[in-house]
A and B are shown apart, each in its own frame.
Chain A
Amino acid sequence: MSDAPDGDRAQILGGIRRSLRRGELTGDARNAVQARLASPPRGPAVARAQLPQPEKVALFCQWAETLNATVARVGAEEVPGEVTAYLARNNLPASVAMAPSPLLDGYDWSGQKMLSIRRGRGEGSDQVSVTGAFAGIAETGTVVMASGPDHPVSLNLLPDTHVVVLRESDIVGGYEDVWARLRARYGKNLMPRTVNTITGPSRTGDIEQAMELGAHGPRRMHILVVRD
């Protein structure tokens, strides 16, 4: 193991302080920076992130579709049926890896006789995953995934097709609203291991700058926006 010697740390921090022509921050200067850290100032407000809730939902759907996801707006009771129907419409196998989340368990999957469901983390061979979402961001049509026992990160990445179940009431305006929700849920300064904010399917422009979908992550992202 390579515990960096204290000397290296002191060398870098000392070098910074020498360049800034001061010692370690103390007194009022330190208090001011700590205060900024404790109550972070927001940047300039982005108008399109400040809409009333129904317009936020509409904007979310509009951007998600513009950025190559597909969206279905459904009632809670329609969620399982829509998953099955989506797979059929796209000639995908009726077999999914599903996040073991209370949200998804709250829907009645018993009617989907043809659908095979495996609960757990993602495997390299998975074709389709179904997960919930911690939030949606209206400003850019982005879904936000917080890792945890109910949401393995691998489900967001390994399958070819990612089906996301997102409640309308979880759609917020911009990133700042997501941070507020994270702090409320996990505690100030605390975070899940991974927060993935995902905007549409995986893509690359690395060959001649032409966008191609499905670089390493899912080629398709289907978002079920569920009415509350």
Chain B
Amino acid sequence: MSSSPANPSTRPRRVALFVTCLVDLFRPSVGFAAVKLLEDAGCTVDVPALQVCCGQPAYNSGDRATTRAIALQVIDAFEGYDAVVAPSGSCGGMLSHHYPGLFDDDPASKARAENLAGRSYELMSFLVDVLGVKKVAARYDGAVTYHDSCSGLRELGVKQQPRGLLGSVQGLALNEMKTPEVCCGFGGTFCVKYPEISNAMVAEKTADIAATGAGTLLAGDLGCLMNMAGKLQREGSAVQVRHVAEVLAGMGDLPAIGEPERG
């Protein structure tokens, strides 16, 4: 990797990875890809052991007390790092945009939540906007299409960053969908609480994906990726589904999401 940050001396060096519970359990390679991208950019990466989840399932189900308890746990676990980076827009957005609002009646915790929020980033945006990474040394042969996950796009402004980095991947061509910004229907617990609506949404998404002719679908959030991969595979599609970090880190030869180990 060759990166050209604007001012290397002020760059955050000590970075904590917020793995996310889905990556931890289902797709550890996304976490390792994130570590590689961060280390290649000159960061020292730690993975605090006391992390589990950002609290979104409780938060989006209206359970504020549990959310606050989990948020405090995360705030503790990530104290002292220059930056906290998640390979997910929704988890990154939870830390950077939603934690402070949980503590409007508790100034001390609010200050700590704001401190964490100010240091928390989604991976693509951290690499490009903060570290100034412009290209990666990776190769991926074929056409890909990129889905903009909602929280990353609309809360954090993640749009051009992954596209810019993908542009530096050798052999890769980007075929845009007609509506890459429309939700895939995952929505955390939404997809099992309202499966019929979720299905209608993801079916529309897979049709849009198919129409691009791309052989690979990329995105920056594992929840969305698992949803779209599951639907594509149920439909018998051969489109491979990967996290964008994997392709950027040169791990594009791993079995794709929902595909068996080879050999």
Q: Is there a direct interface between A and B, measured as CB atoms under 8 Å apart in the complex? A: no
**What residues make up the interface of B, taking CB atoms closer than 8 Å to A?**
none
